[in-house]
Structure 1
């Protein structure tokens, strides 16, 4: 072998040996001196938080900041939630599905309508979970026309109700209800008339007048027939009230009914008719403002009417929300409901958000209500449809502007802050009011805790949510609403 080849082979062998030694040495070093392991940073999050602000910069927006329970003491005010102190069971949150609501929602194209109904009544992460609906028996003032389910020519009567039919709502409210029930078959429905058929009234007018005493019995059968025919349509009516706003004769349609008249109607006609027909539908009295709590108390004080009555329903266009507790404390075995409150076209988002959360959602629930309903679900850009003489300023939770577009209004967020997180069967639990931090708390059927807080003050407030000996610190801007949930 030539010398130059020998030298080359030696060089290669030497380099290989050096490389093997270096590799071995590095391997031994790695085993003997491993690099330090840096643990991942874990951000503790015990509480989820959804926020709506009066300036609309947050609209039921889930917040990304971590909220973890701890034991570090601070000087912020506490909202203490006590799950061991339980109050009433919740039936649900929602709106009135008026004829006008059905008309405008049914005008949406099929794709947009299907998506909207899933958003409103579904149970997915993007739905708001409406669980309670109010409907009218015949036309309300937010139908496009006035009608009842037994309209006949002036001067005639229909004592056997042979002319009774649901035609006025077949293609509107009833058709839409069937689509809603396909999404949520457990949704509860309360129904109420704005007026009796004109031939049963003391005045032949849709506006005002009273139920003629000689037609009390046939009017009770009218309710029975309505419930039975709705059942034939696949729609179960959970409850009725005998009359919407019985002390308001100025709407179109409307009908007056005093407390004594309603007590007599319930005990002598409506209650016995339901019993004879073996109906499970509840009878809820009053359905009007908080300024006359003596109205439902008069009916509940009637020993013959009382057994037929499930409870009392309220609105808050007058009076104070504490009237619900007034009636509950007098008759604690009877249920309380909150069935209507409108937002106006002349109102403001921030003002309505504050007032309605404080009174309708938080206020009604803290005063024993089993539900909380805003008024109209949807309208068009002109705040219609409505009857001639019906509400022309009532603003729906939704405004449908075309076949392909709708906007969410303040009433949408008012209800969604509860309906999305507090399903039917939840129970209100104890929480304290601290300063301007209006709030109400619940435990859901799955065991989750829910706290709804509205900052009713004029400045940002930092505060603690205290639960089970620990607390988490958060804050809300003036007029803002937060829904907090934890396991």
Structure 2
């Protein structure tokens, strides 16, 4: 009996020691931005509230779309303002957007010819009747846009994709002979296709590679307010199928990305039905571009799902978003977390659309929309102007808007709004080539999305729009970690394998 007693003694000791060892937990890094003042602040302590903690469970083996990237737009207004800052502040802003220590933008946009966020109306093709575009010139971009893009390229370690969008052709190519509204005359379809090809060559000569295009910014128009040119789905598809696509292919530029549509999500169905009607219509389209201005709170998941199912192997990229029709609030973080903002629809929308445009919280609008887009097959998300002034311009039409970074060039001051940090939660930690992965969230008051990066790290975004702190248990495989999120906060949770 003695050996048995000895064995029992040691067994009891092992059990006792094991009971003292804490359960193996997930190792995570948590970054938070909140109304309480956190700005991509790393959190190390978490308070668990209540007994029935909710759960967020990650399933990395179930994957969805591949992420193209996140970023913003190079506009003449932004570039002009940066040139008015001191060299030190100009460099600081560019590093805040493009360095690994900053937001590390990976997908960007710019405009071809002028747009509302230009100082004046201008075209690269000013000579009327120049069908062969012998006088094509991007000289208007050489003082501001091109230096901004090149300096961003020099800062970005991994590089970024750049696509370009025209707001309008020169008036002489259009049926109304105006900058605003009107349609491209069929006799200039080949000339306009040549315009895209020449643009690529001109920018390449400056050391800038163009990744692709949207065919036309907002082909439904913008209420005849600033530069615009109208297309129906049939007209745009005819232009792409029979003119733009073949021209780029003939010029050895067939690898350039062509995104159709480029306006609000509610109108996607009629466009993708035409764009992807058959093999011939689909051939040169690489994807669909969308904007968010249809509503301040609805991200239109059904429309996004429809567009994906119509062309599951093509891009679905959100190409423009901003807090529009608002003068930005200078160094007032609380405004960006409060229900004070309005947009064009608050005043101008027809009665049947008014419900889509209530007052809203700017940070919520961004966080909700990006998460909603990712969870409904969108693979890229691009903001509008990177930099604006304290008026929300410059803008030749006085169409004031908000940017993530606001500057006062007269005082050489820079303000990073909470929107900047909100965008960085995605752009900095979800890298190009990441796969969106499956998850289960048991708290409906939290919004969640999750991705797995090419380096196998997992980035989980959690958004708490409520005025209450929330706690939850994060689960991955057989590991877990109790966490909490502050009221009115967005978190990025990194799991590095």
Match of 2:311 among 331, 353, 359: 331
The structure with the largest alpha-carbon Rg is 1
* 2:216 counterpart SS class: coil
Match of 1:207 among 156, 180, 197: 180
1:234 aligns with 2:207: yes
The verdict on how the C-alpha distance between 1:467 and 1:251 changes in structure 2, with shifts beyond 3 A counting, is farther
Query: Which stretches in structure 1 are left out of the alignment for 5+ residues?
Result: 1-40
Q: TM-score, normalised by structure 2?
A: 0.83
Partner of 2:262: 287
Q: Distance in 2 between matches of 1:102 and 1:302?
A: 41
Partner of 1:445: 454
Q: State the shift of 1:218 in Å.
A: 0.7
Partner of 2:433: 425
Q: Work out whether residues 47 and 66 of structure 1, in 8 Å CA contact, stay in contact via their aligned partners in 2.
A: no
* 1:432 counterpart SS class: strand
Q: State the shift of 1:414 in Å.
A: 2.2
1:246 aligns with 2:247: no
Q: Distance in 2 between matches of 1:139 and 1:166?
A: 11
Q: Work out whether residues 252 and 390 of structure 1, in 8 Å CA contact, stay in contact via their aligned partners in 2.
A: no
With 395-404 and 332-341 compared, the bigger mean Cα shift is at: 395-404
Matched residues, number: 433
Q: Work out whether residues 47 and 67 of structure 1, in 8 Å CA contact, stay in contact via their aligned partners in 2.
A: no
Deviations 1:30-87 (A, max 9, x none): xxxxxxxxxxx9x9881111111134x112211132799xxxx963111111110111
Match of 1:400 among 374, 390, 407: 407
Match of 1:88 among 65, 70, 89: 65
Q: Work out whether residues 353 and 479 of structure 1, in 8 Å CA contact, stay in contact via their aligned partners in 2.
A: no
Match of 2:366 among 340, 356, 365: 356
Partner of 1:318: 294
Q: Work out whether residues 460 and 476 of structure 1, in 8 Å CA contact, stay in contact via their aligned partners in 2.
A: yes
Q: State the shift of 1:225 in Å.
A: 0.5
Partner of 2:346: none
Query: Which stretches in structure 2 are left out of the alignment for 5+ residues?
Result: 1-21, 329-334, 338-360
Partner of 2:78: 101
Deviations 1:216-262 (A, max 9, x none): 11100001110111111111111101100111242311111111110
Q: State the shift of 1:384 in Å.
A: 1.1
Deviations 1:126-165 (A, max 9, x none): 322111111001111111111121123xxx3101101110
Q: Work out whether residues 46 and 67 of structure 1, in 8 Å CA contact, stay in contact via their aligned partners in 2.
A: no
Q: Distance in 1 between matches of 2:143 and 2:47?
A: 48
Q: Distance in 1 between matches of 2:108 and 2:129?
A: 32
Q: Distance in 2 between matches of 1:355 and 1:253?
A: 26
Partner of 1:192: 165
Q: Work out whether residues 45 and 66 of structure 1, in 8 Å CA contact, stay in contact via their aligned partners in 2.
A: no
The verdict on how the C-alpha distance between 1:256 and 1:130 changes in structure 2, with shifts beyond 3 A counting, is same
Stretches of 4+ aligned residues off by more than 4 angstroms: none
